[in-house]
Amino acid sequence: MRAAHSIAVIVPALNEERSIGKVLSDIPHWVDRVIVADNGSTDATAEIARRWGAQVVSEPRRGYGAACLTALAYLDPPDIVVFLDGDYSDYPEEMDRLVDPIIEDLADFIVGSRVLGAREPGALTPQARFGNWLACALIRWFWGVAFTDLGPFRAIRYTSLLQLEMKDKDYGWTVEMQIKAVTSKLRTREVPVSYRRRIGTSKVSGTLRGIVGAGSKILGTILLFAVRTKAEPDPVRGRERIILFSRYPEPGKAKTRLIPVLGSDGAARMSRVMTERTVRTLRRVALERSATLDVFFDGATESLFRAWLGPGRYTRQSDGTLGDRMHRAFQAVFRDGADRAVMVGTDCPGLSQEIVRKALVKLNEGDVVLGPAADGGYYLIGMRRPQPHLFRGMQWGTETVLAETLAAARRTGLRVELVDRLNDIDRPEDLGHWEKITSSPLPVRAKMPSITVIVPTLNEAESLPNALTSVLAGGCVEIIVVDGGSSDGTVDVAQSFGAVVFSARGGRSIQMNEGAKLSRAEVLLFLHADTLLPPDWEDHVAEAISTPDVVGGAFRLRIDSDLRGLRTVERLANMRSLRLGIPYGDQALFVRRSIFDEIRGFPPIPILEDLELVLRLRARGKLVITRAYVLTSARRWKELGVLRTSLTNQLMLVGRMLGCCPHDLTMMYRHASSYPVLLREFLRCVLAAKTAAGRATR
């Protein structure tokens, strides 16, 4: 992740065995998922890509667009998608230039311009430069938007990409995306990127057939869209906004009037399911109408909402009464350029796409649109400009809200349109509507968690939110935070994420063992508070332990820093894990609960408890290292330096193999800031181990 945004990279590839490894090795560590779309390669492209940890999907039909479309079909929804060629002509390490403007909400679509950036002599052939110039000139002529390049290195917000409904399956993919981005009124931007000579021959500009085919398709695509635009001008819909007003479903604070019947957990689950149902409905309408979905949230962090509801625009609700907060939300979207906006809550399971569409259309004639609720309130309100008087002096939560709103509108001469009357679910007597509307039982029965994630902490208030956010991207999981006596608010952070919090002192091994005792799941995953799990981590764990001979496993390692030498550390750590079967604790160890109990958990030692657990597990069965990567903090390497930290870790491992006492190794670890003292302490540990071994043999 980068700034709490999930990033996916798609690399179309055709016979790129000489370059694909270089491309994948240079992709930044903060990328969450890489998909290589093998477009019918006859060499070792796919095998090398898998070796580098990428997911490889096959699209035997030749065509750049076909490869991209196939990769998208395998993609779990990220926040941002990056497209990158597999011939090593682009610089993957410059990816931050493309994704950061989207993260900062300055743009929806970024094209990396090779024309604006630095490029090696001969990297762009004369025919490629001319083709770029001509295509961009035509786009500027027909649509009034200036591009300098059709560069393949580009990034786009995932929800925006869905709006474009990409179709082209060969050379027209890039130009189709840029034209549709313009006609869909996406916020587009170019940034300069570097460009070098590709490895191998270009499939486009390197052959006469490619030049003719690409040129014809690109120009044909531009002219076709130009004719369509002139013949069938699009209605101006890009400035429609759909607002979801939502609160996080925290037990005891969500749907409180349902607690007497459902209990606090059941009421929270009811709120969660209704919110997810509403979001699905609103997303479909937003994509269909090229509208923007805004989530105004309360009760949790933005990162937690993103992990729960997916990509979109998120804004924290303001202070004040419900009316104050609703009015300020409308003010915000109109200030941002909306010409009409509809707001809904999450209480009406009967809300349909047709009703939301109808509300937006009715704003063509009326000033205000309302969706009446059966209890006397309203579940939907829309308007074409801010109307503050509609939110003043209302008795919120009563059966008079709709009548008072209609009266306020009449007093100011507003034209009001109504859509369908629906039942909302606020009180116990409303629960009968759920099964009648959805034909589903009440979603109130608790599921047993499939995995328990145990996080030992000590003053981790800064890093813990990101770690727990990554955990919550999984499914039915239980989170147990075992705190060792924090004084910085760690416990409050853990509780705000709904974790079970328990106190235990005496070191990390004791904390994790105590957490395991509280677990209700059949699989335990031990996560450091400064480590992030990949978005689909639960699926990887389930796949890894799907066979009876597997007792546990871990993830591959990435380190959250570009500090020199850390890529080598990553490679060596992953090689150790894959070839020797010895992962460490910062790789998120997971284990079957039954096996963990049989080996009596972590040994009660102050250091290397993860290594001891792994060695015990290896004696009981197979350990699997997943294809996915965790992202761990580089703070240890930054504090001591990469070389000193790596040396210390290796001396610890050697010391353990030579039988050194864990307490002696702990003392050695505390002296790691000085090379001479570190080596002296290591020799002292080894000498003490040999002396103890000699005594034992007498």
Q: What is the mean pLDDT of the chain?
A: 85
The confidence band for 446, taking pLDDT boundaries of 50, 70 and 90, is very low
- Look at residue 228 in the predicted model and tell me its pLDDT: 64
| Percentage of residues in the chain having pLDDT higher than 90 | 41
Strand blocks (E) in 288-391: 292-298, 313-316, 340-344, 368-372, 378-383
pLDDT digits (tens, 9 = 90+) for 284-337: 888 778 788 999 999 888 877 876 787 678 899 998 899 999 999 999 999 888
Which CATH superfamily does the domain covering 240-438 fall into?
Spore Coat Polysaccharide Biosynthesis Protein SpsA; Chain A (3.90.550.10)
Could you tell me if 455 and 527 are in contact, meaning their C-beta atoms sit under 8 angstroms apart?
Answer: yes
Half-sphere exposure of 456 (CA within 13 A, CB side): 21
Amino acid 90: pLDDT: 93
Instruction: Report the percent of the chain where pLDDT is more than 70.
Output: 92
Residue 112: the pLDDT is 95
pLDDT digits (tens, 9 = 90+) for 257-269: 887 677 777 788 8
- pLDDT tier for residue 688 given thresholds of 50, 70 and 90: confident
What average pLDDT does this structure show over 630-634? 93
Average pLDDT on 516-521 reads 83
CB 54 within 8 A of CB 35: yes
574-594 pLDDT, tens digit per residue, is 999 998 889 999 999 999 998
Superfamily of domain 451-634: Spore Coat Polysaccharide Biosynthesis Protein SpsA; Chain A (3.90.550.10)
With cut-offs at 50, 70 and 90, classify the pLDDT of residue 533: very high
Q: Which of 647, 518, 509 is nearest to 589 (CA)?
A: 509
Angle at which helices 508-518 and 609-618 cross, to 10°? 50
The residue extents of the domains of the chain are 7-231, 240-438, 451-634, 641-698
Segments in 367-463 forming alpha helices (H)? 401-411, 432-438
Q: How confident is the model at residue 171 (pLDDT cuts 50, 70, 90)?
A: confident
Encoding tokens for residue 612?
């001891």
Determine the average pLDDT of the residues in 438-460: 75
Same topology, domains 7-231 and 451-634? Answer is yes
How many CB atoms neighbour CB 566 within 10 A? 20
Gap between the Cα atoms of 27 and 84, Å rounded: 10
Q: Is the model's pLDDT at 209 over the cut of 60?
A: no
Half-sphere exposure (CA, 13 Å, Cβ side) for 527? 33
Q: Which residue has the higher pLDDT, 558 or 207?
A: 558
Give residue 330's pLDDT: 95
- Separation between Cα atoms, residue 108 and residue 92, nearest integer Å: 20
What secondary structure does DSSP assign to 532-575, as a single string? Answer: E--TTHHHHHHHHT-STTEEEEEEEEEEE---TTHHHHHHHHHH
State whether residue 42 is helix, strand or coil.
Answer: coil
**What is the Cα–Cα distance from 611 to 76, expressed in whole angstroms?**
33
- Which value, to the nearest 10 degrees, does the dihedral of the CA atoms of residues 254, 258, 262, 265 take? 10
Q: Give the CA distances from residue 46 to residues 16, 37, 60, 540, in Å, rounded to whole numbers and listed in that order.
A: 9, 9, 12, 20
pLDDT at 474: 62
> Under CATH, to which class is 7-231 assigned?
alpha beta
Q: What is the pLDDT, as a whole number, of residue 307?
A: 66
